[in-house]
Amino acid sequence: MTNPTIDPTLGPVLARTGDERAVLDAFLDFHRAVVLRKADGLADAEAVRRLVPSLTTLAGLLKHLALVERNWLPCLFAPQPGDVYLTTEEEARASFTLAPGETVAGLADAYRAACDRSRAIAARFDLDHVVPHPQLGEVSLRWVLIHLIEETARHAGHADILRELTDGETGAL
């Protein structure tokens, strides 16, 4: 039997026989990439256009997910002076609001940088490493990675719908 050609952008497929860490990292990176692809090629006016009653826009999703990346791994596992873990729904909703001058390219770059920082921090710890959490008591890196997969995948779905409403493009790839 011959091996079918596997699309290398499908990290979770490539990690299908990997250890737990490889699988978690592959799924998270896959969903991060989907979000970035959904905003790729859009003009700023398209990415900030509100297509649903909430504040959710493609540009807002990039900004929000950058905050999510900064909030969970850097603030909890490697806080720097001035890092403050955000805990309220109001703060999360505010992260969808764009400031004057923010562009899709700039937001995508900020999201990539936040993902890179998260990836580097996570790599320093075992999955069982536990840190204090201001609302939950303690969380393990494993739990945080699974939460980030869930959060990013949920918003990747939102981004897919928004992109379809913008120009008809659908699909993860």
Alpha-carbon distances, residue 14 vs 9, 21, 119, 132, 150 (angstroms): 9, 13, 18, 33, 20
- Buried b / exposed e over 65-94, threshold 16 CB at 10 Å, is bbbbbbbbbbbbbbeeeeeebbeeeeeeee
Are 77 and 125 in contact, with CB atoms under 8 Å apart?
A: yes
Q: What is the pLDDT along the chain (173 residues), one digit of tens a residue?
A: 445 555 656 667 666 778 999 999 999 999 999 999 999 999 999 999 999 998 899 999 999 999 999 999 999 999 999 888 887 777 777 888 999 999 999 999 999 999 999 999 999 999 999 999 999 999 999 999 999 999 999 999 999 999 999 999 887 77
Q: How far apart are CA 20 and CA 173, in angstroms?
A: 24
Question: What pLDDT, on a 0 to 100 scale, did the predictor assign at position 104?
Answer: 96
Domain residue limits at 26: 11-167
Q: How far apart are CA 12 and CA 78, in angstroms?
A: 27
Could you tell me if residue 137 is left (phi over 0), alpha (psi between -120 and 50 degrees) or otherwise beta? left
Question: What pLDDT, on a 0 to 100 scale, did the predictor assign at position 2?
Answer: 47
Asked whether residue 172 is assigned to any structural domain, the reply reads no
Q: How many folded domains does the chain comprise?
A: 1
Asked whether residue 80 is assigned to any structural domain, the reply reads yes
Asked whether residue 6 is assigned to any structural domain, the reply reads no
CATH number for the domain harbouring residue 143: 1.20.120.450
Nearest to 69 by CA among 21, 133, 116: 116
Question: What pLDDT, on a 0 to 100 scale, did the predictor assign at position 128?
Answer: 98
Question: What pLDDT, on a 0 to 100 scale, did the predictor assign at position 18?
Answer: 81
